């Protein structure tokens, strides 16, 4: 019987890692950053990289555009220092910037302009569909990677760094969350092979499940109940959507990280091809999450609203009121699906 070595790294990816490794010089001070409202992939990749860089004699700090999510506090420990509170001032005096899980520099929010102005080497490790405005010039990107954490894992292996139990937990959190618990279409034999290796390096899968998926504050479940009551469905076209008004987070005492995965409830409805979640940010802008089932390319749809991401999971920020944006985007979605009939 022939076995496949799923952990083998493709020559292209190896070359990308080696290009990047040339910048990983001992003594250089690094700032790590990821997108606004960091998710498990962003946080896990950052906390793993902080420890991996330390093995190469590189001190690093995490400088994110929005606060580190409490849900992922357990990944930080002593080794990964969060300097986010200092804002762009924390980028002064660094020798290298390493941005993860971002294809477009604008996803760095309030750090975007400071990052553009940096003249030091800027590295991007990412698995989103490329944009024409990346956050750096040395780019390791591969849309076939299930998570940025997969690329960080490959970097660790290729550079023969040690996968400590803390690093293994961080990378597992990255892959676990970006694959929706190994359920989304980006789940591959390789995702499972890496997860297997991470278990052998000390990850306890039940502990990870409890920390990531079973540690919700009661407010998150109450908010979920409220958001679910907003459900709209067009069964004929296969579109389902959820909305959340401004101020709901505050009212339930929860944070934006508590919204992660909420759009999946719309996607879970039988026959749904395109699911949407509209969140009123309260200052004339609505954040939209797009998810799809089957061959619907929501990256292409989201591009029409200035957003993007992945083929089956994308986002956009649109100006307007919640009702206006929802009505417009839902009817655009029906048209996008070739279902713009009069009854639509
Ligand atoms: Mn990701």
Give me the sign of the Cα torsion angle 23, 24, 27, 29.
positive
Residue 109, in any domain of the structure: yes
Query: 307: CA distance to ligand 1 center in Å?
Result: 15
Q: Which residue has the tokens 């996968």?
A: 163
Question: 171, 190, 213: which is the final residue of a domain?
Answer: 213
- Whether the pTM exceeds 0.95: the reply is no
CATH number at residue 256: 3.10.310.30
Q: pLDDT tens across 87-135, in order?
A: 999 999 999 999 999 999 999 999 999 999 999 999 999 999 999 999 9
What's the 113 CA to ligand 1 centre distance in angstroms? 23
pLDDT band at 2; cut points 50, 70, 90: confident
Residue 278 lies in domain: 218-336
Calculate how far, in angstroms, residue 341's C-alpha sits from the geometric centre of ligand 1: 36
Q: How far is C-alpha 47 from the geometric centre of its chain's CA atoms?
A: 14
Same-domain check for residues 186 and 281? no
Is 344 inside any structural domain?
no
| CA 147 / ligand 1 centre spacing (Å) | 5
62 and 115 assigned to the same domain: yes
Asked whether residue 297 falls in the same domain as residue 268, the answer is: yes
In sequence order, which ranges of the chain are alpha helices (DSSP H)? 11-21, 40-55, 112-117, 148-158, 165-178, 189-200, 205-213, 218-228, 248-252, 264-267, 298-303, 322-336
Chain position carrying tokens 């076995």: 3
Q: What's the CA-to-centroid distance between 38 and ligand 1, angstroms?
A: 10
- Asked if 180 and 41 sit in the same domain, the reply is yes
Give the pLDDT confidence of 142-199 residue by residue, as tens digits.
Answer: 999 999 999 999 999 999 999 999 999 999 999 999 999 999 999 999 999 999 999 9
Q: Which of 213, 229, 246 is the last residue of a domain?
A: 213
Query: Averaged over 228-240, what is the pLDDT?
Result: 98
Domain membership of residue 5 (yes or no) is: no
CA of 35 to the centre of ligand 1 (A): 10
From ligand 1's centre to the CA of 178, what distance in Å?
6
Tell me, in angstroms, the distance from the centre of ligand 1 to residue 257's CA. Answer: 14
CA of 254 to the centre of ligand 1 (A): 23
**8 — phi, psi (to 5°)?**
-60, 140
291 in any annotated domain: yes
CATH number at residue 139: 3.90.1640.10
Question: Is the same domain home to 290 and 148?
Answer: no
How many angstroms is it from 152 CA to the middle of ligand 1? 11
Q: How confident is the model at residue 341 (pLDDT cuts 50, 70, 90)?
A: low
How close is the Cα of 92 to the center of ligand 1, in Å?
27
Residue 124 shares a structural domain with residue 263: no
147 and 172 share one domain: yes
Q: Quote the ligand 1 centre to 203 CA distance (angstroms).
A: 20
- % of the chain exceeding 70 in pLDDT: 99
Does 131 share its domain with 151?
A: yes
**Same structural domain for residues 176 and 231?**
no
Instruction: Indicate whether 199 and 228 sit together in one domain.
Output: no
Give the number of domains in the chain: 2
Gap from CA of 309 to ligand 1 centroid (Å): 9
Phi, psi (deg, nearest 5) at residue 290: -115, 135
Do both 323 and 196 map to the same domain?
Answer: no
Using a CB cutoff of 5 Å, list residues around ligand 1, an ion. 41, 101, 148, 178
Domain-located, residue 1? no
E strands, 19-95, are 30-33, 60-62, 81-82
pLDDT in tens, 48-57: 999 999 999 9
């Amino acid at each position: 019987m022939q076995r496949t070595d799923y952990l083998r790294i493709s020559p292209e990816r190896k070359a990308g890692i080696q290009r990047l490794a040339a910048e990983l010089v001992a003594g250089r001070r690094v700032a790590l950053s990821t997108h606004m409202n960091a998710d498990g992939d962003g946080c896990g990749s950052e906390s793993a990289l902080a420890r991996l860089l330390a093995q190469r004699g590189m001190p690093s700090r995490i400088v994110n555009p929005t606060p580190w999510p409490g849900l992922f506090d357990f990944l930080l420990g002593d080794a990964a220092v969060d300097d986010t509170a200092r804002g762009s001032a924390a980028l002064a005096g660094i020798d290298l910037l390493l941005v993860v899980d971002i294809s477009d520099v604008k996803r760095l929010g309030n750090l975007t302009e400071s990052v553009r102005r940096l003249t030091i080497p800027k590295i991007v490790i990412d698995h989103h569909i490329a944009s024409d405005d990346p956050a750096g010039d040395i780019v390791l990107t591969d849309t076939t990677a299930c998570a940025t954490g997969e690329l960080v894992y490959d970097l660790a292996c290729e550079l023969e760094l040690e996968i400590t139990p803390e690093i293994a937990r961080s990378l597992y959190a990255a892959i676990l969350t970006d694959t929706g618990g190994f359920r989304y279409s980006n789940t591959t034999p390789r995702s499972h092979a890496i997860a297997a290796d991470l278990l052998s390096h000390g990850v306890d899968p039940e502990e990870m499940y409890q920390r990531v998926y079973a540690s919700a504050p009661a407010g998150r479940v109450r908010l979920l109940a409220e958001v679910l009551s907003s459900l709209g469905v067009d069964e004929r076209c296969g579109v389902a959507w959820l909305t959340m008004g401004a101020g709901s987070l505050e009212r339930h005492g929860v944070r934006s990280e508590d919204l992660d995965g909420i759009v999946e409830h719309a996607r879970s409805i039988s026959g749904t091809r395109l699911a949407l979640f509209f969140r009123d940010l309260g200052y004339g802008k609505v954040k939209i999450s797009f998810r799809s089932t089957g061959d619907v390319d929501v990256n292409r749809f989201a591009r029409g609203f200035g957003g993007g991401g992945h083929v089956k999971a994308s986002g956009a920020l649109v100006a307007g009121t919640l009702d206006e944006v929802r009505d417009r985007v839902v009817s655009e979605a029906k048209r996008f699906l070739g279902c713009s009939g009069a009854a639509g």
